[in-house]
Structure 1
Amino acid sequence: MTDQIEPAVVVVVAAALYDTDGRLLAARRSAPPSLAGRWELPGGKVEPGETQERALVRELREELGVEASPVARVPGEWPLKPGYVLRVWRCSLDSGVPAPLQDHDELRWLAPADIWSVNWLDQDVPAVKSLSED
């Protein structure tokens, strides 16, 4: 009998970042070219030795220039590409005004009725559906 070792999985965390009016923040990709013009939940990769929560705080600071706090993980995870999974956290905006600093050229606050008014990246659609079902 041989022990099976699962390949390492890279976790990508994304923020379901809400404002005080209950609107969800969407970010439009400007890079890479294959993703440009499509919308996503902001976030990024968890670095070695970093917790998912710390990665999310760091990514939101780097990408949007804000301080945010993870509140609760959204149940589930969604495959991105081989070896990568997406995990989403509901987050609160603690300070700052979101601005597109890296890999994005526009941000939009979406009211619940407008959540499908943007062209989400295919890999973000299941996570956004999960958020809209809560």
Structure 2
Amino acid sequence: MSGSSVLVVDGDEASPRPTDRPVVDVAVGILIDADGAFLLTSRPPGKVYAGFWEFPGGKLESGESVEQALRRELQEEIGVTIGSAPIWKVSLVDYPHSLVRLHFCKVRDWTGQMHMREGQQFGWQTLPVSCAPVLAGTVPVLEWLAAEQAAC
């Protein structure tokens, strides 16, 4: 994991978080097109943080690698089949409802027609992003992408 920090997302201070919560592993795809734009999707209605923008992905199932989970989730959620998706960065986010380890993978190779299968919206973005609100766990990725652009 890059660094040992944990991003803590504010919640209801009257309800302290349990210290023994399990970590939920999540595979996240940063789909980057030929022009350098990246895909953000909104969280579907009925889910926690519905309407917030994030990179697509989902939870690892038992026995799945990060790449296998990402391949399955992107097929299920947006209808694309990805090529290689090595882990780029890992971040731990402490949301009020869950402790989540996000495995971010850059994806430059995919096939299929995008179809938002969960009623979510999508947008190809460049920095600074034009969609809001952005999910807290997405913000560090935008900062990492900005740092990479600045280094070029």
TM-score (normalised: structure 2): 0.72
Whole-angstrom CA distance in 2 between matches of 1:74 and 1:83: 20
User: Which ranges in structure 1 are unaligned for 5 or more consecutive residues?
Assistant: 1-5
Partner of 2:85: 71
Whole-angstrom CA distance in 2 between matches of 1:78 and 1:131: 18
Aligned to 1:25, which of 21, 39, 63? 39
Judged with a 3 Å threshold, the aligned counterparts in structure 2 of structure 1 residues 131 and 74 are, in CA distance, closer, same or farther, namely farther
Whole-angstrom CA distance in 2 between matches of 1:9 and 1:33: 19
User: Which ranges in structure 2 are unaligned for 5 or more consecutive residues?
Assistant: 1-19
Partner of 1:84: 100
Partner of 1:61: 75
Partner of 1:122: 136
Whole-angstrom CA distance in 1 between matches of 2:70 and 2:62: 13
SS at 2:122 equivalent: strand
Given that residues 44 and 51 in structure 2 are in contact (C-alpha distance below 8 angstroms), is that contact kept between their aligned partners in structure 1? yes
State which drifts further: 11-20 or 115-124.
115-124
Aligned to 1:93, which of 93, 97, 109? 109
Q: Deviations over 1:65-119 (max 9, x none)?
A: 00112433222313143432111100123211222112x42110113x4x42112
**Number of residue-to-residue matches in the alignment:** 126
Whole-angstrom CA distance in 1 between matches of 2:30 and 2:83: 11
SS at 2:90 equivalent: coil
Given that residues 74 and 131 in structure 1 are in contact (C-alpha distance below 8 angstroms), is that contact kept between their aligned partners in structure 2? no
Partner of 2:63: 49
Displacement of 1:28: 1.2
Q: Deviations over 1:41-72 (max 9, x none)?
A: 00000001010100000000000000112433
Aligned to 1:110, which of 122, 125, 130? 125
RMSD: 2.1
SS at 2:46 equivalent: coil
Judged with a 3 Å threshold, the aligned counterparts in structure 2 of structure 1 residues 74 and 131 are, in CA distance, closer, same or farther, namely farther
Higher strand share: 1
Whole-angstrom CA distance in 2 between matches of 1:76 and 1:34: 21
Given that residues 26 and 40 in structure 1 are in contact (C-alpha distance below 8 angstroms), is that contact kept between their aligned partners in structure 2? yes
SS at 1:71 equivalent: coil
Matched AA of 2:100: Y
SS at 2:86 equivalent: strand
